[in-house]
Structure 1
Amino acid sequence: MCGIVGAVSSRNIVGLLIQGLQRLEYRGYDSCGVAVHTGRGLARVRGIARVADLARQAQAENLHGCTGIAHTRWATHGAPAIDNAHPHFSMGPLAQTGDDAQGRVTLVHNGIIENHEELRARLQARGYRFASQTDTEVIVHLIDSLYEGDLFEAVQAACAHLRGSYSIAVLHRDEPHRLIGARAGSPLVLGLTAHGETWLASDALALAGVSDQIIYLEEGDIADVQPGKYWIADARGRRLDAASRPVQTVPASGGAVELGPYRHYMQKEIFEQPRAIADTLEGVQAVTPALFDKTGASSQSGAAGAFAQIERVLILACGTSYYAGCVARDWIEALAALPCSVEIASEYRYRQSVPDARTLVVTVSQSGETADTLAALRHAQSLGMAHTLAICNVAASALARECRLALLTRAGVEIGVASTKAFTTQLVGLFLLALTLAKTRARLSAADEAAHLKALRHLPAALQAVLALEPQIISWASQFASKENALFLGRGLHYPIAQEGALKLKEISYIHAEAYAAGELKHGPLALVTSAMPVVTVAPNDALLEKLKSNLQEVRARGGVLYVLADAGTRIESGEGLHVIRMPEHYGLLSPILHAVPLQLLSYHTAVARGTDVDKPRNLAKSVTVE
């Protein structure tokens, strides 16, 4: 991983390929490269700096070509280094090459090849020399070893040997106007243009300004792209007609990724949350299963029928989305009286679980392409759990396509690696799900439904008031910037919010942060409390407040310094070793959404004070399309 762009054209496309990489920079990467067919053979440039540096390098070397591929890499196998950067070349086996050998095949790859060691040994025995430590290089040599004059057939034969996940784009020296793409477990799209130019990309956003006519390749597809034409074969090798992989119009505005007046995308996206939530709620006039039907019209075969049959809920997610699921568990059990469990998607399919066909499997993902979440979904389906629902931010994603039901969170493009507006819109979608399940089970009165919808519609205004606390949070951040450890505490609905706050701080400021249910403090974490470790506490005015106050006293008695986000009426006042920011209002069941925002701001401003790369934190990628 992390980003792929490729094209076949009648014009020089080097600049366009690099522009495509720039649109994918938000995913995070540690090296990048571009390769083209120059008309005389294959040529490439690679680097371990930013895409802007790659552009200067390509210009300096006068790289020029009408068929090409480009890539941003987030390291999985092999450190960030030129030799490990994509595109990779195969020069052929040693017996056929000399020191001046030029590339015969070039390839870019997202994903992980699980049997790369076995393939590497086999190819080395045939005389192939490996220049990198990557799993990717086995694919390019494997394709070269199978090439007999037709690149499509060679890629098709190579894919049969691969185990793991991949999306690839491949060129061959002897076929200058041909590009082959293939995918299994990692996304890949085709982009069509009116003037016969055809593109491949891992994300439709990479093609903004170039093409809005998109074809989403399905699992196992291989695409053959040539000037003015293309065709696709499925996993069985059958050539598909146009109806099987329809063209979809996917507008992608370049303005969506402009910073505007903000210093970083993360800051911009934090302040976009009132709008994102309003957009997610647009058109929601009542609590109804139709909200979760892809067609928008409920039927017994859709959400209404599924919700009437289920007896429990299983939420599958990773990272920030997992914490959203943990909040939703409490909502679903409290409102709908349905047993609900939340599983880390990357762990779920590797343990012996007890399947139940009457379970609603809810998958949560910003991109809808998270590899672990997709694998967990498919595992649940293989166990006979057919009632599946996706809550994600991308309507055409694999997750939305593979689940029977879906709710689209309208957060818009999220560039910063640390998720903010995607998280709060996920919470809104999950709250709508909890209300719908409650209504289906006759546990939601008309008066309660109206009250909850009114509270949801007031959220954008309530969030604006929370965002106005930014100056106070900047003051906290100046004190956090010199710390190396932090502890976050919460109870009940707000414990997952404390976990999310700790995750944000560690992601972008590189401060070690952990979260605990406040009642667990005395069972071990209290040993860590000193004046050098700030303790952040989420303190809503709810039924657990008095218990939480006792936990705060435990910290103060050990010399700990507290930073408390307190609702009005909590009677928690600032004092020595106790810093309080007063939230504008208590928001009942929706309070977690409001409390998440100051924790996002705290992480952001602490990272800014420490001088870290806020939008592209080290070692992390935005869309995690590998296990």
Structure 2
Amino acid sequence: MCGIIAHIGEDSALSPLITGLEKLEYRGYDSAGVAVKNGSGLDVWKCSGRVSDLKNSIDDVETKANLGIGHTRWSTHGPPTDTNAHPHTDVSERVAVVHNGIVENYERIKEILIGEGYEFTSDTDTEVIPNLVSYYLDRGNEPVAAFQHTIEDLEGSYAIAAVIDGNDSIYAARQGSPLVLGVGDDEYYLASDVPAFLDHTDEVVYLEDGDMVEVMTDGVTIVDENDQLVQREIEQVDWQPDETGKGQYDHFMIKEIHTQPTSLQKTIEGRLDPDEGTTDLDVDMDLSDIDSVHLVGCGTSYHAALFGASLLNRCDVSARAIRASEYDLNTGTPSENALFIAVTQSGETADTLGALRRANDAGVDTIAVTNVVQSTAAREADEPLYIRAGPEIGVAATKTFSSQAVMLTLLGQHISSVNADASRVDNLDQLVSDLQELPDAVEQTLQTSDAARLAKKYLDNDSYFFIGRGLGCSVAKEGALKFKEITYEHAEGFASGELKHGPLALVTEETPVFAICADDCEKTVTNAKEAQTRGAPIVAVSPPSHAIADTADEHLYVPEMHPVCSNLLANVQLQLLSYHCATELDRAIDKPRNLAKSVTVE
């Protein structure tokens, strides 16, 4: 949530700032703004609305300013207005700041500063930051010291970038919110995420919590949380610039649905041995004595955790999927031999990081299943497992769910192979073989899907139900989440057997029921029939040979494969259904209302 971009170099900063904001708009699109140092003060442009609105307002502006900051906002404190948009300045416009996160003690700081004569105009917590810097400048501190004192006074989570009139540096700090440094030829970038500057450089420094940075045209100084000068390693990201664009597609979401064959191929590469019928996951951690597994995530990542937990339980490994925001309330003290698995695409999700830190404090082994190299989760877990799905820009996660589920499948088989009390999954040889073929099967499903026609047929119904059992239950829940995220229509996912324990009261002829039957699930067929007798149309998401094909009113077919793979193919069909319904309804598919890609506050 919220995107930060900053640039300093020999050329004008305005163009890379705007381009960076366009690349970051998936993180927030309530308002946007930039501030540049023009040699005789700070120029600030900001407005509510999209980055395109900001761009239109400054199209004719010419400036040689070579340093500046920018921001695209997803509102937390205060509504999305011009005044609440970032950057925020002190009353003299000597200091400009962009900020992601929450300043928890801003009310106390604001009260003190008002008492000292400083003025405030917005509803945001961010506005205390430039005024606090100004406060320290007014007391004779040099800019770097004023910024450092300000950071020391703040409580909460934040990523901050600031510019100060009369000074040729950008100052930045991070604590609990992502901030990365891009290193180019005679230029530097700061951003919430790598895609913001990937067109310019693929060399990245991943800043750590507690880091404070001064970026100048001729170098960078980093001070850690102990006020010690540190050198952070420069790493090269393997994402390509064209991965962050839409290419031939109308939306990022449909592009990312269609690139799942490639992302899945990268996920499984080097991790399967089809000749031996085994998985080959490189895990250094000793998991032979694990007696329980907690899989923790939010939203789509939680549904992937459900998928992984279901597989582990089938292998006689006690596993629970837990919503990260509820972890401290619903787990108690984990056993000494528990394993904690954080499932997070970005590696920066605040609730998941909070749960990971509690697990680390409890002394249990921790693994992060994540997409972003050197993300906070990857660094703080005992071991990261990267899903290698490439950058995902669409707010509604698609390819990362598939890759997370496959990674958890591989991890589950690794655990069952080294744990004496566990058993191997049914038909392991077939699973390994079918995982190898999964990218091609996804491509086949994409090319033959009937989701576009069914989207039109069932448009404007009262509600949409998705049901499944076991692995299919997690797919049903994810299908419903995807549908409601981008169509704004009411949708719910249920374990099939729960339909008759309340939700059946809502079923009418205007309530299509999508039954996920990608494996042996007679009870789901029975539950679907119960809804059908109440007038509900039934759409089977299944192989053509499944028994439900004779019952259903419509079908979304998937190839006949091992249940793990068939359920993931069912998920692809539901992604397409959601996309095509949203298209028919003319929704803002890549920028659904009230949502942002990465939720970095609790």
Scaled to the shorter chain, the TM-score interval is: over 0.9
Of the structure 1 ranges 424-433 and 393-402, higher mean CA displacement relative to structure 2 is found in: 393-402
Match in the other structure for 1:159: 151
The 5 A counterparts of 1:489-504 are: 489-504=467-482
What does 1:15-164 align with in structure 2 at a 5 Å threshold? 15-91=15-91, 102-147=92-137, 148-164=140-156
Contact 2:434 2:561 in 1 (8 A): no
Comparing 583-592 and 388-397, the one that deviates more? 583-592
TM-score, normalising length: structure 1 = 0.91
Q: 1:288–1:436: 8 Å Cα contact kept in structure 2? A: no
The CA distance in 2 between the partners of 1:149 and 1:459, in whole Å, is 61
Partner AA of 1:371 in structure 2: A
- State the aligned residue count: 596
Corresponding residue of 1:96: none
2:271 matched residue in structure 1? 284
Aligned to 1:341: 320
Alpha-carbon contact 1:568-1:586 (below 8 Å) kept: no
Contact 1:43-1:63 within 8 A present in 2 as well: no
Residue among 158, 168, 193 paired with 2:160: 168
Give 1:208's match in structure 2, choosing from 181, 198, 202.
198
The answer on whether the counterparts of 2:513 and 2:538 sit within 8 Å (CA) in structure 1 is yes
Deviation at 1:318, TM superposition (A): 0.6
Alignment map for 1:234-245 (pairs within 5 Å): 234-240=224-230, 242=231, 245=232
8 Å CA contact 1:183–1:218 kept in 2: the answer is yes
Distance 1:589 1:278, change over 3 A: same
Matched, 1:10 2:10: yes
Superposition pairs for residues 385-404 of structure 1, below 5 Å? 385=364, 387-404=365-382
The Cα shift of 1:161 comes to 2.1
1:151-173, CA deviations, whole angstroms, 9 ceiling, x for partnerless residues? 22222212222221100001111
Selected match of 1:366 from 334, 342, 345 = 345
Distance 1:525 1:338 in 2: 31
1:518 aligns with 2:493: no
For structure 2, the residue ranges without an aligned partner over 5 or more in a row are none
| SS, match of residue 615 in structure 1 | coil
Instruction: State the shift of 1:481 in Å.
Output: 2.6
C-alpha displacement of 1:288: 8.3
- Give unmatched runs, 5+ long, in structure 1: 92-101, 294-301
Measured in 2, the distance between the counterparts of 1:60 and 1:190 equals 29
Q: Is the 8 A contact 1:36 1:64 kept in 2?
A: no
How many Å separate the matches in 1 of 2:96 and 2:443? 50
* SS in structure 2 at match of 1:468: helix
Contact 1:541 1:568 survives alignment (8 Å): no
Q: Secondary structure at the match of 1:390?
A: strand
Supply the AA of the counterpart residue of 1:118: R
8 Å CA contact 2:465–2:491 kept in 1: the answer is yes
Q: Which amino acid in 1 is paired with 2:304?
A: A
Q: Give the match for residue 439 of structure 1.
A: 417
How far apart, in 1, do the equivalents of 2:279 and 2:270 lie? 14
CA–CA distance in 1 between the matches of 2:21 and 2:457? 37
- Residue number among 317, 324, 337 corresponding to 2:297 in the alignment: 317
Residue 461 in 1 paired to residue 440 in 2?
yes
Output the CA distance in 1 between the equivalents of 2:103 and 2:229.
26
Partners in 2 of 1:340 and 1:2 — Cα distance? 34
Which aligned pairs between 1:188-587 and structure 2 lie closer than 5 A?
188-195=179-186, 197-240=187-230, 242=231, 245-286=232-273, 291-293=281-283, 302-303=284-285, 305=286, 307-335=287-315, 337-350=316-329, 353-385=332-364, 387-441=365-419, 449-470=428-449, 472-542=450-520, 544-545=521-522, 547-573=523-549, 578-587=553-562
Shift of 1:448: 5.3
C-alpha spacing 1:594/1:290, structure 2 compared with 1 (3 Å): closer
Between 1:309-318 and 1:22-31, the stretch displaced more is 22-31
SS at structure 2 position matched to 1:159: helix
Secondary structure at 2:229 match in 1: coil
Identity of aligned residues (%): 40
CA gap of 1:85–1:358, structure 2 versus 1, over 3 A, is same
**CA–CA separation in structure 2 for the residues paired with 1:357 and 1:140:** 46
For residues 507-563 of structure 1, what are the alpha-carbon distances to aligned partners after superposition, in whole Å with 9 as ceiling and x for unaligned?
001001111112111211111111122222112340x32x22221221122222222
- Distance (Å, rounded) in 2 between the aligned partners of 1:566 and 1:285: 26
CA distance 1:323–1:457, shift in 2 (3 Å): same
Q: Is the 8 A contact 1:435 1:444 kept in 2?
A: no
Name the SS of the counterpart of 1:592 in structure 2: helix
CA contact (8 A) 2:9 2:66 kept: yes
User: In 2, distance between residues paired with 1:77 and 1:27?
Assistant: 16
Which deviates the most, 124-133 or 507-516? 124-133
Closer, same or farther in 2 for the Cα pair 1:251/1:580, shift >3 Å? closer
Please, what TM-score do these two structures have when normalized by structure 2? Answer: 0.95
- Give how far 1:292 is off: 4.1
For 1:352 and 1:497, locate their aligned partners in 2 and report how far apart those are by CA, in whole Å.
Answer: 24
| Aligned counterpart for 1:185 among listed residues 171, 176, 181 | 176
**Alignment partner of 2:44: what SS?**
strand
In the superposition, relative to structure 1, how do residues 392 and 524 fare at CA in structure 2: closer, same or farther (>3 Å)?
Answer: same
Contact 2:542-2:570 at 8 Å conserved across structures: no
Q: Which amino acid aligns with 2:180?
A: V
Which shifted more, 165-174 or 460-469? Answer: 460-469
> What is the identity, as a one-letter code, of the residue corresponding to 2:199?
G
Q: 1:588-623: per-residue Cα shift (whole Å, max 9, x none)?
A: 233321111111000000000000011111111111
